[in-house]
Amino acid sequence: MTNPRQLAFIALRNVHKGAYADVALDRVLQKVNLPDNDRRLVTELIYGSVRRQRTLDTLIDQLAKKKSHQQPQDLRTILHLGFYQLRYQERIPASAAVNTTVQLAKENGFSGLTGFVNGLLRQYLREAGEQGGRGGEKKNSLLLPQSPVPSPQSPVHHFAPLQLPENSVERLGILHSFPDWIIQVWLEQLDFEETEQLCEWMNQSPTIDLRINPLRTSIEEVEAALQSVGILVRRIPHLPQALRFIGNTGSIQKLPGFKEGWWTIQDSSAQLVSHLLDPQPGEVIIDVCAAPGGKTTHIAELMADKGKIWACDRTSSRLRKLQENSQRLNLQSIQMYTGDSRQFNQFQNTADRVLLDAPCSGLGTMHRHADARWRQTPESVRELSVLQKELLTHTSTFVKPGGVLVYATCTLHPAENEEVISAFLAESPDWQIESPAGFELPEFVRSTPQGWFKVWPHQQDMDGFFIVRLRKTNNSE
């Protein structure tokens, strides 16, 4: 079976049963040999339908007699695929989107409801046509050209039939497909306009960045090698090892320099973290939540592979990925240690620097993980913040007096970031925030008045991150 829409339907059915979207996608793609454009379509339909789930459900609620949650689950999934193509895929002709969705219904146990499916999608198109054409997110934006920061009462440009409530949290949540609680967290930190820009950014397909390995090659050599096979990249200012792919890459593993260990995949904001740690040759470094090892291998490169890095993680299977990467990059300074860092006592006062890249809700990387917005909850964030505080309190004892600890997360939730650091500093008089020396930070990475760093994706066009560098005073016991 090589029908991209049927493959997307099978994967989405598994997602609704609890599978992770990326795992469900891999599972269906492994079973078939599809041309690249069909693989891209399957990927887009799966990730897009998961991301836009709330908006798509709202369309069903507004157009059908039965609400989305009352529809049979498989039929709801088929309608998601149809509406996703009509609303967000302008390159797919409307007739093709409707006909293929009707066909999906016929082939998956709903032959008696093909008229309903056809009628619902055509009703959407009729209403969209009356209001100015097929509506994507930009056309249905809450922001008006005349009003840079609209109030929740501002009129809405309806280019597609989506009725939005007046409450600004719900409006953003329905239009951009996020749970209300996430919108609320962002509105507490940003104004309305910036929150909408962040929502739009998170709904884009993610870019792919790489990090060159300066122990094996140069950035110029990698650029030339990729250019020789028609792959375009661009540099990222102030990140000396970073390149961003432009356009489609095909299989990453087949690109020149990958097998040779010239480079590895790592988002540019994650590369910032190791630069802020600023490891030096000959030091002892502990990476306490290391797997899958992007930052660990970066630390080794920055130390010229001289010194010792203890890479700790609870999960041995995830550490295997780190082992594969360090072998491919030909790095010798990394030693693995399996277990929960909160239980380790053997590292007390042994490290020059510690990296705590803490487990977090990942709200800064939701564009990469289509289903993360539906998996995390305020309760899961509370549990994570407890874990983060425990990890920070215990692993800070690994640092020698005078040493450095960098705390980093890829989330944008204050309960996992600012509140964790503030609570730690209140209980730890021998620790203080310090500005990094020795690395010229990109201009956009502005330290806040408190001294921590935040990368906002819609401003910097990279994953959302929180990073703070802490120094243990010399007179610490």
Helix (H) or strand (E) holding 7: helix 4-16
pLDDT at position 133, please?
54
Q: Which of 199, 289, 360, 410 is catalytic?
A: 410
Helix 53-63 × helix 168-176 angle, to 10°: 100
Question: What contacts 385, CB < 8 A, 6 or more positions away?
Answer: 415, 416, 419, 420
pLDDT at position 132, please?
53
> pLDDT tens string for the chain (477 positions)?
689 999 999 999 999 999 999 999 999 999 999 988 899 999 999 999 999 999 999 999 999 999 999 999 999 999 999 999 999 998 999 999 999 999 999 999 999 999 999 999 999 999 887 655 555 544 444 443 222 333 333 333 334 678 899 999 999 999 999 999 999 999 999 999 999 999 999 999 899 999 999 999 999 999 999 999 999 999 998 899 999 999 888 889 999 999 999 999 999 999 999 999 999 999 999 999 998 999 999 999 999 999 999 999 998 888 999 999 999 999 999 999 988 888 888 889 899 999 999 999 999 999 999 999 999 999 999 999 999 999 999 999 999 999 999 999 999 999 999 999 999 999 999 999 987 655 566 665 656 767 889 999 999 999 999 999 999 987 654
Helix (H) or strand (E) holding 211: strand 209-212
Phi, psi dihedrals of residue 309, rounded to the nearest 5°: -120, 120
Cα 207 to chain centroid distance, Å, stands at 10
Q: Which of 258, 260, 256 is nearest to 228 (CA)?
A: 256
Helix (H) or strand (E) holding 285: strand 284-287
Which tokens hold the place of 277?
């740690």
Q: Is 410 a catalytic residue?
A: yes
pLDDT at position 145, please?
29
b/e per residue 204-228 (b: at least 16 CB within 10 A) = eeeebbbbbbebbbebeebbebbee
State the fold for domain 4-130.
N-utilizing Substance Protein B Homolog; Chain A (1.10.940)
Question: What contacts 324, CB < 8 A, 6 or more positions away?
Answer: none
b/e per residue 267-306 (b: at least 16 CB within 10 A) = bbbbbbbbbbbbbeeebbbbbbbbbbbbbbbbbbbbbebe
Q: Which CATH superfamily is domain 209-265 in?
A: Sun protein; domain 3 (3.30.70.1170)
pLDDT at position 341, please?
82
Measured between alpha carbons, how far is 411 from 393 in angstroms, rounded to an integer? 20
What are the start and end residues of each CATH 3.40.50.150 domain in the chain? 268-472
* Cβ-based neighbour number of residue 158 at 10 Å: 17
89: left (phi over 0), alpha (psi -120 to 50) or beta: beta
Can you give the pTM of this predicted structure?
Answer: 0.90
What are the start and end residues of each CATH 1.10.940.10 domain in the chain? 4-130
pLDDT at position 447, please?
64
What is the DSSP secondary structure assignment for residue 446, as one 8-state letter?
Answer: P
The residues with which 408 forms a beta bridge, in sequence order, are 357, 467
Q: Is CATH 3.40.50.150 the classification given to domain 268-472? A: yes
pLDDT at position 2, please?
81
pLDDT at position 446, please?
59
Provide the terminal-to-terminal Cα distance of the chain, rounded to the nearest Å: 66
